[in-house]
Amino acid sequence: MSKPTRNTPAKLRRPLLTGLVVALATLSFALPSQARETLRIGYQKSSTLITLLKAQGTLDKTLAQQNIDVSWHEFPSGLPLLEALNVGNVDISADVADTVPIFAQAAQAKLTYFAQEAPSPSAQAIVVHKDSSLQQLSDLKGKKVAVTKAAGSHYLLIAALNKAGLQFSDIQPAYLSPADGRAAFENNKVDAWVTWEPFLTSAQRQLPTRTLADGDGLASYKRYYLTSTSYAKTHPQVLKVVYDQLYKTGSWIKTNPRDAAQVLSPLWGNLGVETVESANTHRSYQVQPVKIDQLGEQQKIADAFFAAGLLPKTVDAKDVGIWRP
């Protein structure tokens, strides 16, 4: 009877090892590869916190740890930004004025709020030339007023006119972007201009102006951060990262106003650091969750625009998604 040789166990191990290698290879092909994604962020020049995050690279670095890249897309104002969000050209919108989501809702956009900034009523105003004959809001009747369509300042103008016993139809609106509005105002093509920060402080420091009214008692001027309803459902972890970074940046800008102004100055057309710092004092930058039962002023805004004939239909301000951290 022959004895078993010493190399028998090795012979047995070879097919076992080969089978194990094949099994592991098969498993590795079966597991989904973690492909990099890209978060597309739309913003405007007045999107201060997002602008700081972009400049400092903070958000890019944090999301890179989750295999997510960031692409940045600048828009001239809030309405075209939310239009881009609605058609899927961006994934999230940096802060836009409270009026903008109302217009987007009227266009059947499926929006989800994921953050807001506390009210900043003095961050927008109606200005006239210092030597203008216009002394009070009622003097705007029949005058040409530069305003950006669907901006927060658009609602401020409506509210101010109503306070003076006037309707929006009592003036001649000139719908212009902030840059074009400034040019028209500076060249006396319009009688008044309604704008917001940092354009407001820039004009007040560089031009002889007088303020007819700001938002105090008229328009609280909240700014909202939004995403599509579908993105909120599929990427809640990304929204949490963005929310946390916005909150930290809002706190940082208030405790480091000069440092923030020095970063923002070249990004805001080389506005003077003192001008930027002054403009930022009018914004709260206090990032908060959005609550459905706190959208009362949104409904008030929607009703005012509809009454002025500027919306094609009534809008239910609460007919939106709410994401909370």
**What would the pLDDT profile of 246-262 be if each residue is shown by its tens digit?**
999 999 999 999 999 99
Higher-confidence residue of 209 and 2: namely 209
Confidence of residue 46 (pLDDT cuts 50, 70, 90): confident
Phi/psi at 238 (nearest 5 deg)? -70, -45
pLDDT for the residue numbered 34: 62
d(CA 108, CA 33): 36
pLDDT digits (tens, 9 = 90+) for 155-209: 999 999 999 999 999 999 999 999 999 999 999 999 999 999 999 999 999 999 9
Please tell me the least confidently modeled range out of 6-10, 105-109, 304-308, 316-320: 6-10
Q: Is the pLDDT of residue 5 over 90?
A: no
Q: Quick one: which H or E segment has residue 83?
A: helix 78-86
Q: Is the pLDDT of residue 28 over 50?
A: no
- Section 260-285 average pLDDT: 97
Cβ–Cβ under 8 Å, residues 304 and 260: no
- Section 31-56 average pLDDT: 88
Q: Is the pLDDT of residue 8 over 60?
A: no
Count of positions (residues) in the chain = 325
pLDDT for the residue numbered 12: 44
Structure tokens at 109: 């956009």
What DSSP character marks residue 195?
A: E
Cβ–Cβ under 8 Å, residues 43 and 94: yes
Q: Is the pLDDT of residue 150 over 50?
A: yes
d(CA 325, CA 318): 19
SS3 310: coil
pLDDT for the residue numbered 24: 43
SS3 51: helix
- List domains and CATH numbers for the chain: 37-119+222-322 (3.40.190.10), 121-214 (3.40.190.10)
Confidence of residue 21 (pLDDT cuts 50, 70, 90): very low
- The fraction of the chain above a pLDDT of 70, given in percent, is 90
| Beta-strand relationship, 223-228 and 111-117 | antiparallel
Confidence of residue 116 (pLDDT cuts 50, 70, 90): very high
- Closest residue by Cα to residue 52 from 227, 266, 323: 266
